[in-house]
Structure 1
Amino acid sequence: MAKYPSKPLLLALLCAFAAARINSLDQNGICKSLEETEGYTCQDHQVTTEDGYILGLQRIPSGKSNNNSTAQKLPVLLQHGLTMDGGAWLLNPPDQALAFILADKGFDVWLANARGTKASRGHNSLSTYDPAYWEWTWDQLAVYDLPAFFNYVNNQTGQKVHYVGHSLGTLSVLAALSQQKLSNTLRSAALLSPVAYLNQITTLLIQSFARTYAANGLYATGLRDFPPVGQALGTVLQFLCSMPGVDCSDILVAITIILNNVKLFLLKASQTCPNCCLTPTSSNLVFQQHILQPTSTKNMVHLSQMIRRGTITMFDYIFPVINLQRYNQLTPPVYNMASIPKDVPLFFGYGGRDALSDVNDVKALLNDLKDHDKDKLVEQYIEEYAHMDFIMAGNANQKVYDPLLTFFGQN
């Protein structure tokens, strides 16, 4: 029988990691800490969205042995998941990390960083200390951030863009495509641990977080960026761990959607849908500097709405009069996945042990796409994989990335 850390120890560790999040914002950037140290050329770029956010974008124009010319190379844009940054694609050794593999295979690789993360904290008029800076959800990632990234890469390269998203990075592109965005700049989209429907999440802690309106409570107290730090985080976790049926010995897998697998040794303390194949890289200091990246509390409220309702809609302001002001209708508009253009090449990679991108939720999404052109939709199901395996498993280069490269080659 495995010994689990005590609840107070877990809470103390998570509070410490949350504090480390703030410290990590001052560390070396992604280029210096993760790419140049491996011998790759790296460029820092900035993109400004229509609503004024200044986003960081890293470029790996070539692999170690490739020609530095990017003229004939196809660009690939990689978008990370919740509470991580572009470094998520670089944490494994070069022969196991997707960004490095793509660069070595002759692609022009671009790493996107969502607003609020350490590489994307600028704004034309707001600072991160202004509550208004955090007034966004993944709606705005789909409407503003992704089009800005795509347009910038397209303008820089003159090429349509291959896209790879993980977790929340899949939801934003699906939402954008359902609204007929990106069609002029997208070549194909690969969705790893795809997130759209969320009501089948099997982790009790995440379910409790959503069903107890914990994010709403944080927002009501004035906490605008998430995760909360220090005592606020401890209070939230103590409350959630007191809920009936919630076993906080599985806290790391349960809180993946919040902290994205903070430490491998804590992850292994869990018996609930653990990732199968993560490497020891995830225990090093560099890993810690690229987790716990901030998102907005409002974003967590939005995701919680989806978990409770089983729907894919824009943010619900609850009061019909406010929805009417925002959307010109009493309820938030629905993202209709069936309206995604049927000829867009899509690659789905999902796992049988994923407690966040649950198989049944993925199947519901695929059912929405049942009329998609059959030769434009590829499924890659891996029974033993959980949420983080798709970007950090030591064997993902054979299991996931080889089929992904074949998919790119066909599009």
Structure 2
Amino acid sequence: MRLGLDFVMLALLLLLRQLTVTTARQSREIIITDAVRRIQHDGYNVEQHAVITKDGYILTLHRIPQLGQQGSVLRRPVVFLLSGLYASSDVWLLNGREDSLAYLLWRAGYDVWLGNNRGNIYCRHNLWFNTTARDFWNFSWHEMSVYDMPAQVDYILHQTGVARMHFVGISQGGTVFLVLNSMLPQYNAVFKTATLLAPVAYVSNTQSGLAKIFGPILGTRNYVSKMLEGIEMFSTNKFFKKFLSMTCLEHEQPAVCVTRLWPSVGYDTRYLNKTLLPDLMANFPAGGSVKQLMHYFQGYVSTKFRQYDHGPERNWLHYQQLEPPEYALEKVSTPITIFFAENDYIVAPADIWRLVARLRNVEAVYKVPWKRWNHFDFICGLGVREYIFDKIVLSMNRYEQRRRR
């Protein structure tokens, strides 16, 4: 009899645990792997737009428009947000309906556009190549800068009827902005202001273990790096990432999820909003090419911010010189505000100041006051609303007020 009661109690406990886990999972239905569904779920209006680049990539833009009482789109100042390495427009939404930077800017009265780059989950189509072809993945952030960014910016200008816009980019988004305006300086006139969150340009002082271990191999021209050109870096299978994200829900301390983030954000995630980890795991990484990372590794080895190194022979064909040319950062004339963190695992303060020294129109440089603030904290960290957003919108509003006078 006692054995029977013990068996019944055990069965009840197991059932209770399963119900608890199921309830927890149901309470986290915010784990959404599509930006349109997420924005709608958070109670905002959304539009999705398709853009074609000059080299045939089909990109997706997400817009959070300002609407009038009759549902018509109001003309408001435009802000364009671009995410970082192996990320997508989703990262601007993961901090929740109240604290995500995209929503904060919308509530401040801006027409918000979220960009995406080739190879991520929203940009896996090309007019001539499919994703199984090496040619599809033979790109770095240089191509994103001279093809993807102009295509998206031109499209936004055409759709909205405005002549200029604001820009906010994080990490690789800052890289793309800097390369665009140094390679195609006419685009400086398009941007009213630019806010760069932990922009990656110089990386010689990075603390990234990936750079220290793989940089000397993949940042130089050799058989291995040549073979990896034209290879996809991360799978964008939504179901697999959603399964991994669900493992976070059953642990009070989601150590597994934090461990997966270490290569990207570092080992100290004290200010990362860990309640967002399941959503972050379900939406990052969002896909890209190995060549994107190798281009950064080349900068780590060379200590320079320059175009892709194809090797002496191909460099001569591409650039008419044996070494790749450095990006002419002096041509970037847009008013820029830069944020960086002292403890950033990816972007060292010394590299930020080296970048600042070469830019001609830096309005402000902010070091985040929290010593343990890290790379992902800029969009998914505690304190985004109190520190980052206030200063971004202050700079943008100051420009709009000057224009009205």
TM bin, normalised by shorter chain, reads 0.7 to 0.9
8 A Cα contact 1:92 1:394, kept in partner:
no
Pick from 37, 40, 50 the counterpart of residue 54 of structure 2: 50
Pick from 386, 389, 400 the counterpart of residue 374 of structure 2: 386
Pairwise mapping of residues 22-37 of structure 1 onto structure 2 (< 5 A)?
A: 29-32=34-37, 34-37=38-41
In structure 2, relative to structure 1, the CA distance for the partners of 1:326 and 1:269 (3 Å cut) is: closer
In structure 2, relative to structure 1, the CA distance for the partners of 1:47 and 1:203 (3 Å cut) is: same
Segments of 5+ residues of structure 2 without an aligned counterpart are: 1-31, 237-254, 400-405
CA deviation map 1:341-363 (0-9, x unaligned)? 2xx21110111110211100001
- 1:258 corresponds to which residue? none
8 A Cα contact 1:350 1:380, kept in partner:
yes
- Identity, % of aligned positions: 27
Pairwise mapping of residues 202-351 of structure 1 onto structure 2 (< 5 A)?
A: 202-213=207-218, 217=224, 220=227, 224-227=231-234, 263-264=257-258, 274-284=268-278, 286-318=279-311, 320-341=312-333, 344-351=334-341
- In structure 1, the residue corresponding to 2:188 is in which secondary structure? coil
In structure 2, relative to structure 1, the CA distance for the partners of 1:270 and 1:190 (3 Å cut) is: closer
Cα shift at 1:380: 1.4
Cα shift at 1:69: 4.6
Equivalent position amino acid for 1:353 in 2: N
In structure 2, relative to structure 1, the CA distance for the partners of 1:177 and 1:322 (3 Å cut) is: same
- In structure 2, the residue corresponding to 1:196 is in which secondary structure? coil
Tell me the TM-score normalized by structure 2.
0.79
Tell me the TM-score normalized by structure 1.
0.78
In structure 2, relative to structure 1, the CA distance for the partners of 1:28 and 1:352 (3 Å cut) is: closer
Pairwise mapping of residues 332-371 of structure 1 onto structure 2 (< 5 A)?
A: 332-341=324-333, 344-369=334-359
In structure 2, relative to structure 1, the CA distance for the partners of 1:127 and 1:268 (3 Å cut) is: closer
Cα shift at 1:275: 3.4
How far apart, CA to CA, are the structure 2 residues paired with 1:206 and 1:354?
A: 14
How far apart, CA to CA, are the structure 2 residues paired with 1:82 and 1:271?
A: 12
Pick from 375, 381, 396 the counterpart of residue 384 of structure 2: 396
CA deviation map 1:365-411 (0-9, x unaligned)? 01112xx24xx511111142211111111211111110100000122
Q: Give the length in aligned residue pairs.
A: 345
8 A Cα contact 1:314 1:335, kept in partner:
yes
Cα shift at 1:278: 1.6
- 1:59 corresponds to which residue? 63
Equivalent position amino acid for 2:321 in 1: Q
8 A Cα contact 1:79 1:113, kept in partner:
yes
Between Structure 1 and Structure 2, the one with more helix by share is 2
8 A Cα contact 1:150 1:182, kept in partner:
no
Equivalent position amino acid for 2:300 in 1: I
Equivalent position amino acid for 1:209 in 2: F
How far apart, CA to CA, are the structure 1 residues paired with 2:69 and 2:394?
A: 19
How far apart, CA to CA, are the structure 2 residues paired with 1:67 and 1:262?
A: 48
CA deviation map 1:44-100 (0-9, x unaligned)? 10111111100011011038x999554331111110001111100000112210001
- 2:100 corresponds to which residue? 97
Cα shift at 1:208: 0.9
Segments of 5+ residues of structure 1 without an aligned counterpart are: 1-26, 230-260
- 2:148 corresponds to which residue? 145
Equivalent position amino acid for 2:330 in 1: A
Q: CA RMSD in A?
A: 2.7
Equivalent position amino acid for 1:276 in 2: R
8 A Cα contact 1:82 1:167, kept in partner:
yes
Give the structure with higher Rg (CA): 2
How far apart, CA to CA, are the structure 2 residues paired with 1:201 and 1:82?
A: 15
In structure 2, relative to structure 1, the CA distance for the partners of 1:129 and 1:267 (3 Å cut) is: closer
How far apart, CA to CA, are the structure 2 residues paired with 1:333 and 1:408?
A: 33
Residue 193 of structure 2 corresponds to residue 194 of structure 1: no
In structure 2, relative to structure 1, the CA distance for the partners of 1:287 and 1:357 (3 Å cut) is: same
In structure 2, relative to structure 1, the CA distance for the partners of 1:97 and 1:49 (3 Å cut) is: same
8 A Cα contact 2:219 2:225, kept in partner:
yes
Cα shift at 1:30: 1.1
